[in-house]
């Protein structure tokens, strides 16, 4: 008789520091992912694309993102109000848009 047990897989959902906190920034980055991926070299490859984009746009987030992925820190939605997140999203989306224009 064959053992019909499934292999022991350690599947965990991907944790994202910015989750849906910066939707416009993430959407713009996703549309230009092919252009942006080379810029992300040197940023932790195991992190989700969204978190690497944030660290690339603003390196001062590196420690917060690192703590989050070590399960020792909160995500963005736990640190800021909805209004603050909206402001950050506008800021980083504008910054990304300017980079895309300058590097067209």
Q: Where are the domains of the chain?
A: 23-102
Decide: pTM greater than 0.95: no
DSSP states of 14-40 = PP-SSTTTSHHHHHHHHHTHHHHGGGG
Nearest CA to 100 among 21, 22, 31, 18? 31
**d(Cα 100, Cα 94) in Å, to the nearest integer?**
10
State the pLDDT at residue 13. Answer: 54
**d(Cα 10, Cα 90) in Å, to the nearest integer?**
37
Q: Would you write out the chain's pLDDT as a tens digit for each of its 104 residues?
A: 444 454 444 444 577 887 779 999 999 999 999 999 999 999 999 999 999 999 999 999 999 999 999 988 899 999 999 999 999 999 999 999 999 999 99
């Amino acid at each position: 008789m064959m053992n019909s047990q499934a292999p022991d897989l350690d599947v965990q959902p991907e944790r994202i520091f910015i989750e849906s906190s910066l939707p416009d920034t993430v959407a713009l980055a996703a549309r230009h992912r092919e252009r942006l991926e080379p810029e992300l070299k040197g940023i932790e490859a195991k992190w989700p694309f969204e978190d690497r984009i944030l660290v690339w746009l603003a390196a001062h987030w590196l420690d917060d993102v690192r703590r989050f992925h070590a399960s020792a820190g909160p995500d963005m939605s736990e640190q800021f109000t909805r209004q603050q997140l909206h402001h950050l999203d506008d800021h980083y989306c504008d910054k990304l848009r300017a980079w895309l224009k300058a590097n067209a």
